[in-house]
């Protein structure tokens, strides 16, 4: 069992967004190793079909398993919403996504039972957040809004730019009038716009970052399964390894700007081979 306890956690996303989830895992369970895969060649996932996203997810899981991971985190709202349930039973290791933890915390946070969700087109149209919120709170009203331009704006680094603020004001205008008291940042890029979204929505609206809750659920899951690392990850030369399907340099710049660690090991792989 010792070897399994020391095995890394596989974390994946369509690109850099899932690094906000990896960042929470690093903060909440710093003794765990991580193998991160960013599908930078095939981003964005937010406009892809369910069938395509299930195929991508299966390939990435096959790749992560070659790295000996003991559990997998789907650090992408879009893949969590439409592909996770399709692959869960095919796996012999635990897998969690970000939608279920985000839905749970939003259902617990709301006082007036009116919850907003912003995310990609695929995430919002999937209805998965609505379904999972209503499992906890059947009478909840959930108002969704797709904000597709947020992903390229964040990747451009324009998180404090007036152009992004103008876009955000347009996207959020209906939600501002909808009397929600809780808003889920239902895309992994959006926590990087947290301050801007918070300023626009006002302090009466609680912002939910599913990444935080996902890291806590992951910790509980590893303990429950008896596979939590009880040592330190410092014995390993590279506790955090990063793989991408395209353009490692751009990924490195972004990762270095948001992660609390040095991003030294980034390798490009051909994901279509898996």
> What minimum distance in Å lies between the beta carbon of 201 and ligand DGL?
19
User: Is 187 a known active-site residue?
Assistant: yes
Distance, CA of 132 to CA of 99 (rounded, Å): 8
> What minimum distance in Å lies between the beta carbon of 83 and ligand DGL?
11
Cα–Cα nearest to 54, from 251, 174, 36, 62: 62
The answer to the question of residue 46 lying near ligand DGL (CB under 6 A) is: yes
Give residues 156-215 in contact with ligand DGL (rule: CB under 6 A).
187-189
Whichever of 6 and 13 has its CB closer to ligand DGL, that residue is 13
Cα–Cα nearest to 37, from 4, 6, 74, 90: 74
Name the closest residue to ligand DGL (Cβ): 46
The answer to the question of residue 40 lying near ligand DGL (CB under 6 A) is: no
The answer to the question of residue 84 lying near ligand DGL (CB under 6 A) is: no
- Token duo for residue 49: 């079909």
CB 16 within 8 A of CB 255: yes
> What minimum distance in Å lies between the beta carbon of 260 and ligand DGL?
20
Whichever of 123 and 233 has its CB closer to ligand DGL, that residue is 123
Distance, CA of 122 to CA of 82 (rounded, Å): 8
Tell me which of 40, 57, 59, 78 binds ligand DGL, using CB under 6 A. Answer: 78
User: Is 147 a known active-site residue?
Assistant: no
H or E element, residue 115:
strand 114-119
Tell me which of 11, 12, 14, 242 binds ligand DGL, using CB under 6 A. Answer: 14
Q: CA-CA-CA-CA torsion for 136, 141, 142, 145, nearest 10 degrees?
A: -170
CB burial class (10 A; 0-12, 13-18, 19+) of residue 267? exposed
Q: Which part of the chain contacts ligand DGL (CB under 6 A), choosing from 38-46, 57-65, 135-143, 218-226?
A: 38-46
Distance, CA of 28 to CA of 229 (rounded, Å): 13
Q: 26, 99, 187, 222: which is the annotated catalytic residue?
A: 187
SS3 9: strand
Cα–Cα nearest to 73, from 241, 211, 208, 226: 211
Whichever of 150 and 240 has its CB closer to ligand DGL, that residue is 150
Whichever of 7 and 187 has its CB closer to ligand DGL, that residue is 187
Residue with tokens 């030294």, as numbered in its chain: 264
Q: How many CA atoms does the CB half-sphere of 261 hold within 13 Å?
A: 21
Whichever of 35 and 74 has its CB closer to ligand DGL, that residue is 74
- Token duo for residue 264: 């030294």
Give residues 86-125 in contact with ligand DGL (rule: CB under 6 A).
119-120, 123
The answer to the question of residue 144 lying near ligand DGL (CB under 6 A) is: no
> What minimum distance in Å lies between the beta carbon of 42 and ligand DGL?
8
φ, ψ for residue 13, nearest 5 deg:
-150, 175
Q: Which part of the chain contacts ligand DGL (CB under 6 A), choosing from 24-32, 72-80, 138-146, 157-165?
A: 72-80
Active site residue ranges: 76, 187
Interface with ligand DGL by CB under 6 A: which residues? 13-14, 17, 43-46, 76-78, 119-120, 123, 151, 187-189
């Amino acid at each position: 069992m010792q070897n399994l306890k020391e095995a890394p956690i596989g974390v994946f996303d369509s690109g850099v967004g899932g690094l906000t989830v990896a960042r929470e895992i690093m903060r909440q369970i710093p003794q765990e190793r991580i193998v991160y895969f960013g599908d930078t060649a095939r981003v964005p996932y937010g406009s892809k079909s369910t069938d395509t996203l299930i195929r991508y997810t299966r390939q990435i899981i096959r790749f992560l398993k070659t790295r000996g991971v003991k559990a997998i985190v789907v650090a992408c709202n879009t893949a969590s919403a439409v592909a996770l349930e399709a692959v869960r039973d095919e796996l012999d290791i635990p897998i969690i996504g970000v939608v279920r933890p985000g839905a749970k915390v939003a259902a617990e946070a709301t006082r007036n039972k009116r919850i907003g969700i912003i995310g990609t087109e695929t995430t919002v149209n999937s209805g998965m957040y609505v379904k999972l919120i209503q499992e906890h709170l059947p009478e909840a009203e959930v108002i969704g809004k797709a904000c597709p331009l947020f992903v390229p704006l964040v990747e451009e680094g324009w998180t404090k730019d007036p152009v992004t603020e103008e876009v955000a004001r347009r996207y959020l205008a209906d939600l501002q009038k909808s009397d929600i008291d809780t808003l889920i940042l239902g895309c992994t890029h959006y926590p990087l716009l947290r301050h801007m979204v918070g300023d626009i929505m006002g302090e009466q609206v609680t912002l939910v970052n599913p990444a935080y809750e996902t890291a806590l659920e992951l910790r509980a899951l590893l303990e429950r399964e008896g596979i939590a690392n009880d040592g330190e990850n410092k014995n390993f030369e590279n506790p955090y390894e990063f793989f991408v399907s395209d353009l490692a340099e751009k990924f490195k710049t972004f990762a270095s700007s948001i992660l609390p660690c040095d991003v030294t090991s980034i390798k490009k792989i051909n994901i279509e081979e898996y």
